[in-house]
Amino acid sequence: MRLRNIPRAESVLSEHDKVVKDEKTYRGNWGQVFGNSNPIHIEIGMGKGQFLLKLAGRNPQINYIGIERYSSVLLRAVEKYEEEAEEEGALQNIRFVCMDAAEIGEVFSPGEVDRIYLNFSDPWPKKRHAKRRLTSKEFFARYEGVLAEDGRVEFKTDNGDLFRFSLEQVEEAGWKLTACTWDLHHDKEMNAGNVMTEYEEKFSAQGNPIHKLVASRKD
Ligand code: SAM
């Protein structure tokens, strides 16, 4: 994601009612934030938000939390929320958090999250940065600390090296691969109901196949 510092980002986000500040104080109490006990699905590295906003519109019975590290990027998602919430007059089931996903265990309690989406995560191509990849075994251990027992991680990318690495890490982390395709858009079963992200639209338009895996904790 190309980053440009947007000076007003911090102040807009700090005043927006759907951006959760002091996120660590809600650990174990996210139901309170939404005012219900619906399942919680999160996207880590939500970028400009197209994917999560569309899911939130489709599934009002699910609570969605979009996590993004950079305020200038999250600002775009919040602006998109403003446009779409106005159009649909709804979207009460989404919140945004500006944070580094490495801290996820301080923000959610064990079992509090039902699903984690990772879409076109940064590849961190240098081997010495492998631990920073959101599909490294170190991150799977963090996900294990917050996911419900029957929860799952869904990951999409067009990056073959990152996808191969991620498949290995699922195994090394002791997780179970429950579904996998190297060409999502030509896989009728796995593509059913697929919601495209900004990156997915861009890279599939360039002819790149999209890879997807679904992983769950081993019981
Ligand atoms: N998911 C979007 C899509 O598919 O269009 C955006 C993909 S973009 C390549 C990856 C995003 O993940 C960037 O906006 C980046 O800032 C965010 N990101 C990367 N590492 C992160 C982390 N540790 N915590 C939170 N966000 C992260």
Could you tell me the domains of the chain? 9-217 (3.40.50.150)
What is the value of pTM for the model shown?
0.96
Kindly give the distance from the C-alpha atom of residue 176 to the centroid of ligand 1, in angstroms, as a whole number: 24
Decide: helix, strand or coil at residue 154: strand
CA dist., res. 31 & res. 93, Å (int): 11
135 within ligand 1 shell (Cβ under 6 A): no
Q: Contact, 23 vs 69, CB < 8 A?
A: no
Among residues 22, 122, 187, 219, which one is catalytic?
122
**pLDDT beneath 50: ranges in the chain:** none
Q: Report whether residue 27 contacts ligand 1, using a CB cutoff of 6 Å.
A: no
170 pocket-lining for ligand 1 (C-beta < 6 Å): no
Strand partners, 156: 119, 212
Count of Cβ atoms closer than 10 Å to residue 58 Cβ: 10
Q: What is the ipTM of this complex?
A: 0.99
Over residues 65-102, the pLDDT tens digits come to 999 999 999 999 999 999 988 765 579 999 999 999 99
**Residue 139 structure tokens:** 């991150």
